[in-house]
Amino acid sequence: MSDNTNNIDKTEKAMPHNGKLFEHYVLSNNINRAEVARRMHMTNTSVYKYAESPSLQMGILWKASLALNHNFVAELGAALPVDYVTPKELELQNQIKALQEQMAGLQKKIEHQQIEIGVYKNIVGK
């Protein structure tokens, strides 16, 4: 293998500290850690250890996401310096494009109707 595959490019983003991501969500939403532990079916000590861990297993992130109704996996994916569009995002982009085209058509109709109104006003003398 070449040296390029063995060395991490220093300009790449470092992996986010998963525990801090987890802890920040819990604290910023004023969620009691004991409640988090109950929802995740684990001890309070485990929750504190997760907050300190720089890298959490996918299973833990999944369980935390379900327990807290927050997608930590997607949040990490958004921080990844790799372009990727999910099927849901692609569908939404297509819907946006279709709505923008529909809006452009409606705007043309409005402009046409405003011209007609102007003509009618001139005819009526207002």
pLDDT per position as a tens digit, 8-61 = 554 457 888 999 999 999 999 999 999 999 999 999 999 999 999 999 999 999
Helix (H, G, I), strand (E, B) or coil at 82: coil
Helix (H, G, I), strand (E, B) or coil at 15: coil
Cβ contacts of residue 65 below 8 Å, gap of 6+? 71, 72, 73
66, 60, 68, 77: which is closest to 32 by C-alpha? 68
Quote the CA–CA distance of 43 and 51 in Å, as a whole number. 13
Burial of 51 (0-12, 13-18, 19+ CB in 10 A): buried
List, for residues 55-110, the tens digit of each pLDDT value.
Answer: 999 999 999 999 999 999 989 888 888 888 889 889 999 999 999 999 999 999 99
The pLDDT of residue 85 is 84
